[in-house]
Chains A and B, each alone.
Chain A
Amino acid sequence: MGYSGEYAVRATGLKKSYGETQALKGVDIHVKTGTVLGVLGPNGAGKTTAVRILTTLLQPDAGTAEVAGVDVLAHPDQARRVIGLSGQYAAVDEILTGRENLIMFGQLYGLPKSIAKARATELLAQFGLTAAGDRILKTYSGGMRRRLDLAASLIVAPPVLVLDEPTTGLDPRSRADMWQVIENLVSDGTTVLLTTQYLEEADRLANEIVVIDHGLVIAKGTADELKTQLGGERLDISVADGSNLAEVEQSLQQLASTWGIAGNEVLVEPHTRRFTVPYPAGAAGLMQAVRDLDSVGIHPTDFSLRRPTLDDVFLQLTGHAAEDMEGDGSYE
């Protein structure tokens, strides 16, 4: 598939401001050839801004970007030949059929019409859109439109594929289909950079993960490394209406310390009366957790053990919840 250097994507010190908003404050992104890098971050973290810079749509204020050995800033036109982009929102013509869309984009890549047609037929088949190929896109579901958008970015089988939140807004079934498609592309040798808000998605697809927040990289590593950093599963404990939350919190902090968890990692959401605490023993120690709670006099109305979510990543890494990202980012 063309590129054989060590890093298919190499961006350093990317900075970009929109007026007062500093969307990127110096971000490095490196993707090893043939692997998948997941860029994880909440709304407004700067994911799309980074994607747009790497795909020639936006000029950074500072930094360098190279894709498949091509300097994106110096030779945008050459870069456009080696990058396939599927943006955050499907970028296809709603009033054309799926086939017409693919033929048009093929011709714009410079393919003669006959080849563009053959390629369109192939891609429709590959993405399970043969039956829908001659319907206009207005009649497509979100998942179908998203797949067509991806197909459009694969017309010349580019060595590097950039996907901005490829499964946001899809139902679980379409999401699983999309994951399968991406895995197939990777096994054929494509290098993929994808952004996501879902830890689960990064976990499933990405060899390495970069977590960004407020335009800065705040963590990076493999999914396992990040999870270890997160300290494993979480216990959610809800208590009855009218309980003394401060008392419960104190008991829970004491209990947590016996599990090796610092007191400040016990979180409380007063309006739902729910506490969240990392639980290193995981599912195997579930019974023990129930007994421990009982022994300190906590009687949950609801109790569950779950894997960490993106929110937990943020709590851990930044000390504030993902929803509090807007504004000055402080968390009271």
Chain B
Amino acid sequence: MSSTDLTNDVRLSSALNLTARSKPRFVQLLNDSFVIGWRNLLRVPRQIDWLIGVTIMPLMFLLMFRYIFAGTVQMTLPQGVSAVNYLVVGILLQGIVFSGMNTGYGLAMDAKEGLMDRFRSLPMQHLAVVLGRIVADMAIAIFSTVTTILVAFAVGFRPTANLGEWLAAIGIMGLTAFVFCWLGAVIGLALKTVEAVSSIGFSAIMPLTFISSAFISTDFLPSWLQGFAANQPFSLSVNATRGLLNGYPDVGNTAWLAVMWWLGTLVVVIPLTAWLFEKRGE
């Protein structure tokens, strides 16, 4: 290629660049998130061992709870409520919380590889680095959740939900996954290193899933934990999903309460993420 060609082409590129960048911010954000999301998805089949790892973890929880604890949990439940149905919902939502940690891990990995600095030095919408990460992590969470549901059916999960209830339950689980991806992003950006995210981040989020109604009714927890466990938003998500899929307990307003909690969390967490991202260089 002659240097004249290059110069012409460069002028063309620069011109196009300026045109493209005069689009509204929101359009840029969508475009950039799509580009980063696609990049993250391209990486998945090339890290197949990692994908197997994140898919297997909820399956292990499922099988262990199904065959080790289900009998005991059954004794805590009212007549006619299936422990398998009860536990599967808890395990699905725990898996969703853990998959949010992938977002933190992925961002810390990008920082480790120096890519974060490259992104920060580009005239792009920086929040897209996080949003694009979340797009990919949501896809992985869906894959892993569907796999878990299929295996759950094989080991005796028998939900009573109709189509509408399924859709509502999927909505709750999806929103929960989305929120935990953002929380994962905060953890990833705040802790900075891959090692810290996979140890500290994980330990920080783990209690939230156990001090909850995920695996046992909160009435059976120590009394000083009951208030928190019964009312924290993760429990609300679990209760709402359980109500929708299994008809126990009654959903009532729980689903709406969960939605309100999560939307409120997003209002705090999204700007916090943007702020953490911009001050990463310090």
A residues apposed to B, CB below 8 Å? 2, 18, 52, 55-59, 77-78, 80-81, 83, 85, 87, 89-96, 100, 104-105, 107-112, 115, 118-119, 122, 125-126, 136, 152, 155-157, 188
Contact = CB atoms under 8 A, between A and B. Distances in A.
Nearest to B122: A108
A156 B35 contact: no
- Nearest 9 CB-CB pairs, A to B? A110-B20, A91-B114, A91-B118, A157-B10, A80-B123, A108-B124, A110-B21, A58-B281, A107-B35
Given A95-B46, A110-B20, A110-B123, A105 B118 contact: yes
Given A80-B122, A108-B32, A157 B1 contact: no
Interface of B: 1, 3, 6-7, 9-10, 12-14, 16-17, 19-21, 23, 28, 31-32, 35-36, 38-39, 42-43, 46-47, 113-115, 117-124, 281-282
Choose among B3, B31, B47, B120 the residue with the greatest number of A CB atoms under 10 Å from its CB.
B120
Given A58-B281, A93-B115, A188-B6, 8 more contacts: A56-B120, A57-B120, A91-B117, A94-B113, A108-B32, A109-B122, A110-B16, A111-B20
A326 B207 CA distance: 44
Given A91-B114, A100-B42, A156-B13, A81 B3 contact: no
A90 B117 CA distance: 10
11 contacts: A80-B122, A85-B121, A91-B114, A92-B114, A108-B36, A108-B119, A109-B122, A111-B13, A111-B16, A119-B9, A156-B14
Contacts of B46: 95, 136
B118 A152 contact: yes
B16 A112 contact: yes
A65 to B, nearest CB: 14
Contacts of A95: 42-43, 46-47
A295 to B, nearest CB: 57
Contacts of B17: 81, 109-111, 156
B123 A109 contact: yes
